[in-house]
Amino acid sequence: MRKIREAFRLRFGHGLSIRETARSLSMSHSTARELFSRANSAGIGWPLDHGLDDAALEAALYPPVESAGTPRPEPDLEWIHRELKRKGVTLQLLWLEYKRQYPDGLQLTQFCERYRRWRRGLDLALRQSYVSGEKLFVDFAGQTMPIIDAQTGEVRQSQIFVAVLGASNYTYAEACRSQEIENWVGANIRAFEYFGGTPQIIVPDNLKSGIRQADRYEPDINPTYREMAAHYGAVIIPARRRKPRDKAKVESGVRVVESWILAALRNRRFFSEAELSKAISTALKELNSQPFQKLPGCRRSLFESTDKPALKQLPAERYEVGLWARQLADQSYHVFIEGNYYSVPYTLAGKEIEIRLTAGTVELFRHGRRVASHVRKYAAHQPVTNPAHRVFDNANVGHCAHANVDHQRCGLTSK
């Protein structure tokens, strides 16, 4: 507007020609001529009225153009955003459906531009497109909660597990005693049960509980965690290092849990993880029912319409956490586990054995094939030997002698 006012001053106040005025203000001759033509049509003279501000001057010179005919119907941008979360749905498909309903509607380019402009106004976690039931983001929160030992008064810090579904932001959280693999896997399982199904992909951060070796292309996933995912028909794809957008969903979920739930519980005292998890569960109901600020509905309603129908059905049996390790069988064809010896077939003496330890069993594998299974003993010094693993005949005794095996140790009995 300053250049327009200066053009009027030069043209009418100092009597410059249109061409001279245009040259002085570094504008084209045709632009200056059009400006003065518009001023003449609008009845704007010199000097300008002191009450004529920039907005009024612009409106007088450049009145809005009245569109001919009926305006084109605008697409439902919130509906488009929800539909894009469904598997296989694209903007082009939604535009074709829109055009079938409104033949005179927007063309594809404007349709897509309208949606992208609207989406830029959303938060980052809401802006990214996630397919329904596809991804579950999991992590431990940075904030911990104090747990008081009722007997000694000692205070320890409880870890907070957070899981967020990609399409709906539906959130689960619980308290864990530590970040050890048993607690990590157990929390994942309880998250599946809370959601009532399992996703296609689990996206953890590169914490040591689930990812033993962080690597961009071939991360080393803890075998227990991998086995759990296979049991539920899911795939683990860890977030890439230094790629915050890979885990923006769970980082946003962690911040919400810390501010909405943990902050609200800061003045309460808890004496166990079970007590704290119960309080978190109550607060989760309110969190998941809290209306969105920039979208209609809430986490729960979006979950019911998007993620829930697409989740895989839970298996009939719950996964039993099994810890894995490797060890060489000694010359008495036993492996030593937590103070006890467990037998394998005598032919595997000196061989590397894979151990899977559950609450009730000890399973022993060689090259992925189970070669022995024993009831787990918790009291120390209770050697467990399967009679079928022993050496009975003379040929086998000779084998033991050749291997320099202590025959007294070969005669360990099952208890």
pLDDT in tens, 372-405: 999 998 888 878 989 889 865 444 444 443 333 3
Q: Where are the alpha helices (DSSP H) in 10-165?
A: 18-24, 29-42, 54-61, 77-83, 91-101, 108-119, 124-127
Nearest to 81 by CA among 128, 40, 31, 47: 128
Query: Quick one: pLDDT at residue 354?
Result: 92
Query: Quick one: pLDDT at residue 243?
Result: 62
Residues contacting 32, CB < 8 A, separation 6+: 7, 18, 19, 21, 22, 25
pLDDT in tens, 13-43: 778 888 888 888 788 888 888 888 888 887 8
Nearest to 380 by CA among 338, 412, 414: 338
What does the alpha-carbon distance between residue 338 and residue 378 come to, in Å, rounded to a whole number? 8
pLDDT in tens, 103-138: 888 888 888 888 888 887 765 545 456 788 899 999
Q: Which residues on adjacent β-strands are paired with residue 247?
A: none
Query: Quick one: pLDDT at residue 208?
Result: 60
Q: Where are the alpha helices (DSSP H) in 120-176?
A: 124-127
What does the alpha-carbon distance between residue 306 and residue 255 come to, in Å, rounded to a whole number? 23
Backbone dihedral region for residue 324 (phi beyond 0: left; psi -120 to 50: alpha; all else: beta): beta
Separation in Å, CA 37 to CA 11, 31, 313? 13, 10, 72
Nearest to 62 by CA among 85, 79, 80, 39: 39
Separation in Å, CA 328 to CA 263, 369, 372? 50, 16, 14
Decide: 159 and 175 in contact? Cβ < 8 Å. yes
Long-range Cβ contact pairs of 225-228 (< 8 A, separation 24 or more): 225/181, 225/184, 225/185, 225/188, 227/319, 227/322, 227/324, 228/185, 228/188, 228/189, 228/319, 228/321
SS3 content of the chain, % helix, strand, coil (to 5): 40, 20, 40
pLDDT in tens, 151-180: 999 999 999 999 999 889 999 999 999 999
What does the alpha-carbon distance between residue 191 and residue 173 come to, in Å, rounded to a whole number? 8
N- to C-terminal Cα separation, the chain: 96
Query: Quick one: pLDDT at residue 404?
Result: 38
Query: Quick one: pLDDT at residue 220?
Result: 63
Q: Where are the alpha helices (DSSP H) in 246-374?
A: 248-257, 273-289, 299-302, 308-310
Nearest to 168 by CA among 134, 192, 191: 134
Query: Quick one: pLDDT at residue 399?
Result: 42
What does the alpha-carbon distance between residue 327 and residue 337 come to, in Å, rounded to a whole number? 9
For tokens 């009995």, the residue is 413
Query: Quick one: pLDDT at residue 214?
Result: 45
- Tell me the residue ranges of DSSP E strands in 116-222: 135-140, 145-148, 155-165, 171-176, 201-204, 211-213, 220-221
What does the alpha-carbon distance between residue 83 and residue 335 come to, in Å, rounded to a whole number? 56
Domains of the chain, first to last:
2-61 (1.10.10), 77-121 (no CATH), 135-310 (3.30.420.10), 323-410 (no CATH)
Separation in Å, CA 376 to CA 293, 331, 339, 409, 415? 53, 22, 11, 20, 11
Task: Please say if the pLDDT value at position 60 is more than 90.
Answer: no
323: DSSP letter: E
pLDDT in tens, 307-326: 999 999 999 999 998 888 88
- Cα 283 to the center of its chain, rounded Å: 21
